[in-house]
């Protein structure tokens, strides 16, 4: 889904094992308390009588004692907001069952039994969008992580693997398409106007991978021939009017299937692969075996309604969910503490796929930007946790950037240390050993040790310790020898005040500043508190390029002069290192400005150095425009705030916009020329045209601060002449931050043009909520009352309020109104959809890192939330944020 062998052998040690509630705090689950479930459930049969208001479910479980578990005289079947309509054991009505909270407890005396449980669910009333629910007249399911228990009573945990046979029946006019996991075995007419379909999934799976969809759908159908010659039928199911926008998703699916065969040797294992697009969905997508359910956002695209970023997002998410077929489905996770086993690994796989489909350097920079923008703040705040947590109260709160993005970086480090060939040997061994099993992070690490020949004893600390390591690098030159002195610090995080040194693989190289020649790149593993590496053959002090390719997810503090950074920004042959030098040049300038360390002369020198570096980027004929666009991006306000002990959002915003205005004026002619050149490139989805659109947008952004009047004219002309959504949206983005008739006319035109297209209207809301307009907060309040706004659709809620919470200029209003707005939203949304509501707590949880005035206002709203009657999801986030 779209969220050790030395003394530390966590998953091999019975005292470091998951999933039983803590005896002191029943709401707390600890990894060390893991015990295998007492009963195996090898086969499940389900019968659904479908209806939007009422669906009747009959479930038959074939259970047998688990020889690897402790003996139990009862079986606990999890339930959530459902009641048993009938319970049978071995075809006899059971009378001695009881309820324990939401769970059904049934006494069992023998070694094997058949258990039947009848339940009734109300899909239309299910606003939580977990379990079986209705979406725009369609029935669909979301079962990860604990949604299956909202459909029927079941041991709803990932280490219980079963094969499923499912019969679905309902009115044919209402539900002409009936889909489930696996292969379709039978279908036909039922009683009256009803029809049925019978499905069988031959591969054992946990209940969280169960899926069912019924509704009025049409399919974009195709096929794929696997490397062994099997033909797989492919279908992407959508509403009738959306069919023309599914071509890119289908091509992305076929590319993913071929790539996974070629790069990881993984072949698809069913006769059928279905994807369904759903408009009401809490997540991005879900990898249910053979029946992926997707948010429409990650399926539907054409040039008029989707940006280049949307096309990339669809390709990446389609790939991610498909790759889960092996890294998540065929090998699943033993318990939810191992979530990064499937998600971190699969994120890495989709990142590598996207690198191969486009520009690898650009993709790497994009992924690092996401990591720094979301995961680094998480790692330095009250919600910090290791990629394999030790405890939780609500597992949905651990679908985090740490699990996904940092988890991917940890596995990428193994790949860096092993090399591509040996890494493939390790993954092959992992799949071979654990196919059909519920595995652990430790199982993956051991397979990498044995298959790739790595010693990962100390490396296991990456799974245990939270926090982003900080590496201090100092270059010393004496005679012809250059020495790089490295040291590391791992900051304290909640529950982990003291840390051990981590093994940090760093790619580094030295440049001769006169000849521009680079010495051989080296991979150095900093596995102790301090280390020194010597390089010979340098008559003059060289320039250090470090963490090339972002070989480790750390922050670097280096004693590099401004001249060194300008040198690297212009000369480094590693694209990420070049990007990093530019980022560091800007961050230093803005930090000093925010902290009041710049006099007028120092400010002018810094601005001139940055202007020279950007001028070199604009003039470099060897750069493609996609990379040029990345190099032109200034560090975000959130990233700058992370570099400060205490951040003043207003000061950061003012200084960053001020710098961009200076650069916009300094390089106005160059930006106008860049915009003119890029505007002459005709639309296509090839790399050149996409790059042109990217730099065209950046030119407008700089000009918007440097020369607002000229930018408004250019942006409005671009908006009116746009033949694609990327150009139209980037122009509207600039216009929303400006005053004037152009802004009003463009917003009205955009809404009228796309009224009725939910995904594009989401963009309309988000652009206004994320704008730099001085009255953005008032605009968001007005939009919350718009007839197209609803709290019942997660996409619409995120488009307005998540965009606003990520807008530091508006969210951090000095009077605290932005904080009150988000707290009000949480209180209103929590009873409807707790999972979505809880996602809005972390922005308030950054209060410790904000200047005192705003900090007190943020904490005040958290305390207000803490006093309310909240769901378990949201209450845990609020409690942890307060500390």
User: Which pair of structure tokens corresponds to residue 30?
Assistant: 């600890």
Count CA within 13 A, CB hemisphere, residue 65. 12
- Reply yes or no: is the peptide bond before residue 145 cis, omega within 30 of 0: yes
What the block records as the tokens of 606 is: 């810094």
Terminal-residue alpha carbon distance, the chain: 29
Place of tokens 């560090």: 635
Q: DSSP label at 9?
A: -
Strands 391-392 and 39-49, sheet pairing: unpaired
Indicate the burial class of 379 (C-beta count within 10 angstroms; 0-12, 13-18, 19 or more).
buried
Q: Tokens representing 737?
A: 């931050």
Q: Are 106 and 128 in contact (CB under 8 A)?
A: no
Angle between helices 725-736 and 758-769 (to 10 degrees): 30
Tell me if 261 sits within 8 A of 269, measured CB to CB: no
Q: Residues near 284 by Cβ (< 8 Å), separated by ≥ 6? A: 1, 2, 294, 295, 297, 298, 317
d(CA 833, CA 826): 10
Name the token pair of 2.
């779209």
> To which residue do tokens 């958290």 refer?
862
User: DSSP string covering 160-225, please?
Assistant: --EEEEEEEEEETTT--EEEESSEEEEEEE-STTEEEEEEEEEEEE-GGG--EEEES-EEEEEEEE
Compute CA distances 515 → 31, 510, 522, 559, 564, whole Å. Answer: 56, 12, 20, 22, 14
Determine contact, residues 34/20, Cβ cutoff 8 Å.
yes
Which helix or strand (DSSP H or E) is residue 533 part of?
strand 530-536
Residue matched to tokens 């040194």: 501
In sequence order, what are the residues at sequence separation of 6 or more whose Cβ sits closer than 8 angstroms to the Cβ of residue 295? 2, 277, 278, 279, 281, 283, 284, 285, 795
Query: Strand 291-295's sheet: what is its strand order?
Result: 218-225, 231-238, 272-278, 291-295, 285-286
Residue written as token pair 């989709």 = 350
Alpha helices in 491-598 (DSSP H): 562-571, 575-594
- Under DSSP, the state recorded for 125 is G
**Inter-CA distances, 50 with 146, 148, 351, 414, Å:** 21, 16, 39, 48
Task: Write out the DSSP string of 662-718.
Answer: HHHHHTHHHHHHHHHHHHTSPP-SSHHHHHHHHHHHHHHHHHHHH-HHHHHHHHHHH
Backbone angles phi, psi at 75, to 5 degrees: -125, 135
The DSSP line for 716-782 is HHHHHH-SSHHHHHHHHHHHHTS-SHHHHHHHHHHHHHHTT-HHHHHHHHHHHHT---TTHHHHHHH
SS3 64: strand
Q: Residue 174 phi/psi, 5° resolution?
A: -85, -40
- Does residue 321 carry a catalytic annotation? yes
Q: What is the 3-state secondary structure (H, E, C) of 486-512?
A: EEEECCCECCECCCCCCCEEEEEEEEC
Q: Out of 144, 146, 321, 378, which one is annotated catalytic?
A: 321
Q: Which residue has the tokens 């009641």?
A: 83
How far apart are alpha carbons 805 and 807 in whole angstroms? Answer: 5
Phi, psi of 630 (to 5 degrees): -65, -45
Which sequence positions are flagged as catalytic? 321
């Amino acid at each position: 889904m779209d969220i050790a062998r030395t003394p530390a052998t966590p998953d091999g040690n019975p005292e470091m094992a998951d999933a039983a509630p803590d005896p002191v705090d029943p709401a707390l689950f600890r990894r060390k308390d893991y015990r295998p479930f007492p009963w195996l459930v090898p086969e499940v049969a389900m019968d659904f009588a479908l209806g939007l208001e009422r669906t009747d479910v009959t479930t038959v479980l074939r259970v047998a004692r688990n020889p690897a578990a402790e003996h139990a005289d009862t079986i606990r079947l999890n339930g959530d907001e459902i009641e048993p309509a009938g319970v049978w054991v071995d075809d006899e009505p059971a009378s001695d069952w009881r309820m324990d909270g939401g769970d059904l407890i049934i006494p069992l005396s023998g070694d094997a039994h058949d258990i039947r449980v009848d339940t009734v669910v109300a899909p239309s009333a299910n606003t939580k969008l977990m379990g079986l629910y209705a979406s725009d007249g369609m029935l669909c399911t979301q079962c990860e992580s604990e949604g299956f228990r909202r459909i029927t009573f079941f041991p709803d945990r990932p280490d219980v693997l079963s094969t499923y046979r499912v019969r679905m029946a309902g009115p044919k006019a209402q539900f002409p398409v009936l889909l489930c996991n696996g292969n379709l075995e039978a279908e036909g007419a039922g009683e009256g106007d009803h029809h049925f379909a019978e499905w069988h999934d031959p591969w054992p799976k946990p209940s969280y991978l169960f899926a069912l969809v019924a509704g009025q759908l049409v399919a974009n159908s195709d096929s794929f021939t696997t490397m062994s010659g099997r033909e797989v039928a492919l279908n992407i199911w959508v509403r009738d009017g959306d069919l023309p926008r599914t071509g890119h998703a289908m091509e992305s699916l076929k590319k993913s299937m071929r790539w996974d065969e070629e790069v990881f040797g993984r072949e698809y294992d069913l006769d059928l692969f279905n994807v369904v697009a759903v408009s009401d969905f809490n997540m991005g997508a879900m990898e249910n075996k053979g029946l992926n359910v997707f948010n429409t956002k990650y399926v539907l695209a054409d040039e008029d309604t989707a940006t280049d970023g949307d096309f990339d997002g669809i390709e990446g998410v389609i790939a991610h969910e498909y790759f889960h077929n092996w890294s998540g489905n065929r090998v699943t996770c033993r318990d939810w503490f191992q979530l990064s086993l499937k998600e971190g690994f699969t994120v890495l796989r989709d990142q590598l796929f996207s690198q191969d489909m486009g520009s690898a350097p650009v993709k790497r920079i994009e992924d690092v930007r996401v990591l720094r923008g979301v995961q680094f703040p998480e790692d330095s705040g009250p919600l910090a946790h290791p990629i394999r947590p030790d405890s939780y109260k609500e597992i949905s709160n651990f679908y985090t950037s740490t699990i996904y993005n940092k988890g991917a970086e940890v596995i990428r480090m193994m790949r860096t240390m092993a090399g591509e060939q040996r890494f493939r040997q390790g993954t092959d061994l992992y799949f071979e050993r654990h196919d059909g099993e519920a595995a652990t992070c430790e199982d993956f690490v051991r397979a990498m040790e044995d298959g790739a020949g790595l010693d990962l004893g100390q490396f296991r600390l990456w799974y245990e310790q939270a926090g982003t390591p900080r590496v201090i690098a100092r270059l010393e030159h004496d005679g012809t020898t250059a020495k790089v002195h490295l040291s590391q610090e791992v900051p304290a995080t909640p529950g982990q005040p003291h840390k051990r040194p981590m093994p940090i693989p760093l790619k580094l190289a030295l440049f001769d500043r006169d000849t521009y020649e680079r010495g051989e790149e080296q991979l150095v593993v900093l596995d102790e508190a301090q280390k020194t590496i010597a390089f010979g053959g340098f008559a003059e002090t060289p320039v250090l390029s470090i963490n090339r390719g972002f070989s480790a997810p750390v922050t670097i503090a280096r004693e590099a002069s401004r001249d060194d950074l300008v040198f690297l920004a212009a000369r480094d042959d590693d694209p990420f290192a070049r990007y990093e030098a530019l980022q560091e040049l800007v961050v230093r300038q803005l930090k000093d400005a925010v902290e009041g360390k710049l006099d007028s002369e120092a400010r002018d020198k810094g601005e001139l150095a940055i202007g020279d570096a950007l001028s070199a980027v604009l003039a470099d004929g060897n750069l493609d425009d996609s990379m040029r666009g990345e190099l032109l991006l200034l560090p975000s306000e959130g990233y700058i705030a992370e570099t400060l002990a205490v951040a003043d959002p207003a000061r950061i915003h003012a200084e960053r916009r001020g710098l961009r205005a200076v650069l916009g004026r300094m390089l106005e002619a160059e930006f106008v020329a860049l915009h003119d050149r890029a505007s002459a490139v005709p639309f296509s989805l090839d790399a050149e045209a996409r790059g042109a659109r990217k730099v065209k947008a950046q030119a407008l952004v700089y000009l918007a601060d440097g020369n607002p009047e000229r930018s408004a004219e250019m942006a409005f002309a671009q908006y009116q002449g746009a033949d694609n959504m990327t150009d139209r949206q980037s122009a509207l983005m600039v216009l929303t931050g400006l005053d004037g008739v152009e802004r009003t006319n463009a917003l009205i035109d955009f809404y009228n043009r796309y009224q009725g297209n939910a995904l594009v209207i989401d963009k309309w809301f988000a652009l206004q909520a994320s704008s730099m307009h001085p009255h953005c907060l008032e605009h968001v309040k007005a939009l919350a009352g718009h007839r197209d706004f609803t709290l019942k659709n997660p996409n619409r809620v995120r488009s307005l309020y998540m965009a606003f919470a990520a807008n530091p200029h508006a969210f951090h209003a000095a009077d605290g109104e932005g904080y009150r707005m988000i707290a009000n939203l949480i209180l209103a949304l929590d009873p409807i959809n707790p999972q979505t509501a809880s996602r809005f707590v972390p922005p308030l949880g950054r209060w410790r890192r904000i200047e005192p005035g705003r900090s007190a206002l943020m904490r005040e709203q958290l305390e207000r939330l803490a006093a309310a009657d909240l769901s378990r999801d949201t209450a845990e986030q609020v409690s942890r944020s307060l500390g």
